Amino acid sequence: MAARPAQDKKKGADSGVDGYIYFFDDTSGKPKKIIVQVKSGHVTRNQIGDLRGVMERENATIAAFVTLREPTRPMKEEAAGAAFYEPKDYPGRRFPRMQIITVEELLAGRGISYPDWGTDATFKKAERKSKKKSEQRELPTSAE
């Protein structure tokens, strides 16, 4: 999962966000946001409800809850209540707005489901530079 770590202004302050993923799925030039929260130990339905609130506060398109433990049925029901994100430019495609993913699933290759056919905006890409042929020098060969 290519999430950018959340950079809280205060150390130890829990804003409910551990990471962000940004993506484009239209031609507006404005990225959409996925928030990621990671929890270990005992997890509950209330934590999913709290994450839904954070998703709204952060104006995020999708929220992902990553956990070491299997989600309970009430957790899955709470997540399902957030409905689906349906990109306007791609009718018929749907992505759960709240997703619960175990670490085991991540290690097995399952990731967050989101429109990833556009450009990934999570990390800036380095500018590609090329040298003109005349500027490129040959490597010296060593005499044996």
Which fold is adopted by the domain 15-123?
Trna Endonuclease; Chain: A, domain 1 (3.40.1350)
C-alpha angle 60/62/66, rounded to 5°? 115
Residue of 128, 118, 97 whose CA lies nearest to 30: 118
16 pLDDT band, cuts 50/70/90, is: confident
Which pLDDT does position 73 carry in this prediction?
96
Q: Tens digits of per-residue pLDDT, 55-107?
A: 999 999 999 999 999 999 999 999 999 999 999 887 889 999 999 999 999 99
pLDDT (average), residues 19-43:
91
Residue ranges of domains in the chain: 15-123
Cα gap 136→144, rounded to integer Å: 25
